[in-house]
Structure 1
């Protein structure tokens, strides 16, 4: 490793806000609080958030991750099971009740809001168009709030063109919370142009954290030789940040889960680096990546603040009697 006098200079544009959002913070808190109150194991259906570091940390505390409720052994039916932040179809809590399982629903309140918006459309006699990505847990959960056939998934403008409604005067749309703001706006324009009577949700569906992180990336990406987004490959909001950075002018934009994934041999000579993190990526990995660049460059950090987030989503009443220690909170906040 070269000594500091030979390190090339690097300006690191660090996005703020970045990383954990209030919904992710709440979901992780729920698992930690459940472990403290009820002891291990606590079962978690699907990754609580899309981040391997977080999942492995909770596994070390005693969480057991499953995909379906029938994976819970009979002798553990008195153990709590937590539903992930992405939301679940109505069939999942119904199945839990049928199995006499005690469940805690960690669905992000902003995802729950989309569920309510979709159900409101149905109550008013509208067919629902859901703008989102097929197979994503949030999309599966939202579609699962309503009877089969009540929702049509729209991913592209080709889907808009191909859709043939029974009644074009009775349509409503909602969106996945973690989409590209620009892409979604284009799809909404296409829907409104083809179906002028289509009704929007009563409030914005894309969540504040997704919007804020995309805006921060837009502000910092132009002229960056490399833009790194910390996040998992199955994290929708993280992948959208990579796309936003490319569109905003970064010469190269990459998604990495850890510093070990940085392709040093491929990035070439760089003088300006942009750095952000998806809403489920802990700050400790951001620090790890900054340290990796400090080892190779003479780094100057330029903090780019575009918004201040004060949102806080409280956990359910069943867990509010449990206190978290300072070390618990450091884990929940993603700093250890």
Structure 2
């Protein structure tokens, strides 16, 4: 019998679902239990197709716009995703007499309030973020179009020219690279010393914690795997952080089947983390795939312990989740297919 080569897997902590994602998934499940199927969800509730597929199997229907909801189902709930929506979306829902539940992450809602505070105090809002991301669209939609400017990188910050005498305030998307955002803010503060920061940090605790864990695990890693979807901003930032802080190679994967094991003969240390919308069951699947091929030793790289929780909508608090529901909420119950 051929012995398996040794391999150390550095398992990052924190990783995977954050409190905002946990809350959003709970809201969909609770709504299905209370109101029955179908429950409509505007946009992906979180950026992970395995979560989406699992909710679809329970009776959720995902739409991009509210006008996709059939008139005969206007009495069924429509849920707004964790990324947040522009003010125009709930206004449209009210005009169409739709019953909606808002699953916007409370930390994204906090950024919305900070942007509105800047506007209310006569400041032009600088939003640091990625064009086209649902969270950015939602935040920009909290204020008047001519009162907000999107800054994506240092070059944008260097080129931006406000109107003469214009007061400025900034906020940022919650899922950005901590280092990249700090560089952009440094440029803005150098060019505009009176620019007003947000009342509290915009980048959320979960983004910061996951990046810190990846940063700690990266040195000496032959390969760094990040579990997450290609359209997940926080997951893509983890790939960048791993490469920046010493991993020889860093890859974003959605399942174990995406790993090219044929070209991993010479690796000795693999680090592993997961974006805030990636379920733990996929992490388990990847570890199991490595165990088939290597003599695996697990090394824990934990830099923080998270215990944050966010309350669901008042309308749903009396609904009780079963143990099976909680497995799903905790990332353990995603459909087991397409491995």
Q: TM-score range by the shorter chain?
A: over 0.9
Which residue number in structure 1 is paired with residue 94 of structure 2?
97
Which residue number in structure 2 is paired with residue 286 of structure 1?
283
Which residue number in structure 2 is paired with residue 110 of structure 1?
107
Give the C-alpha shift of residue 167 in structure 1: 3.8
Secondary structure of the structure 2 residue equivalent to 1:275: strand
**Matches for 1:114-153 after TM superposition, within 5 Å:** 114-153=111-150
Task: Give the alignment's Cα RMSD to 1 decimal.
Answer: 0.9
**Matches for 1:169-318 after TM superposition, within 5 Å:** 170-318=167-315
Give the C-alpha shift of residue 265 in structure 1: 2.9
Contact 1:168/1:195, CA 8 A, preserved across alignment: no
Secondary structure of the structure 2 residue equivalent to 1:19: coil
Which digits, 9 at most, give the CA deviation of each residue in 1:274-307, with x for residues without a partner? 0000000000000000000001100000011110
Which residue number in structure 2 is paired with residue 70 of structure 1?
67
**Matches for 1:325-336 after TM superposition, within 5 Å:** 325-336=322-333
Which digits, 9 at most, give the CA deviation of each residue in 1:32-54, with x for residues without a partner? 00000000000000000000110
Give the C-alpha shift of residue 131 in structure 1: 0.2
**Matches for 1:13-28 after TM superposition, within 5 Å:** 13-28=10-25
Secondary structure of the structure 2 residue equivalent to 1:50: coil
Secondary structure of the structure 1 residue equivalent to 2:79: strand
Contact 2:124/2:166, CA 8 A, preserved across alignment: no
Secondary structure of the structure 1 residue equivalent to 2:236: helix
**Matches for 1:39-58 after TM superposition, within 5 Å:** 39-58=36-55
**Which of residues 153, 156, 165 in structure 2 aligns to 1:156?**
153
Give the C-alpha shift of residue 95 in structure 1: 0.4
Q: Partners of 2:71 and 2:174 in 1: how far apart? A: 36
Give the C-alpha shift of residue 168 in structure 1: 5.2
Q: Partners of 2:7 and 2:274 in 1: how far apart? A: 19
Contact 1:157/1:190, CA 8 A, preserved across alignment: yes
**Which of residues 74, 81, 84 in structure 2 aligns to 1:84?**
81
Which digits, 9 at most, give the CA deviation of each residue in 1:111-143, with x for residues without a partner? 000000000001110000000000000000000
Give the C-alpha shift of residue 216 in structure 1: 0.2
Q: Partners of 2:171 and 2:157 in 1: how far apart? A: 14
Query: What 5-or-longer segments of structure 1 have no aligned partner?
Result: none
Q: Partners of 1:250 and 1:106 in 2: how far apart? A: 35
Secondary structure of the structure 1 residue equivalent to 2:293: coil
Give the C-alpha shift of residue 169 in structure 1: 5.3
Which residue number in structure 1 is paired with residue 337 of structure 2?
none
Query: What 5-or-longer segments of structure 2 have no aligned partner?
Result: 334-339
Q: Partners of 1:310 and 1:167 in 2: how far apart? A: 46
Q: Partners of 1:59 and 1:28 in 2: how far apart? A: 12
Q: Partners of 2:214 and 2:281 in 1: how far apart? A: 19
Which residue number in structure 1 is paired with residue 336 of structure 2?
none
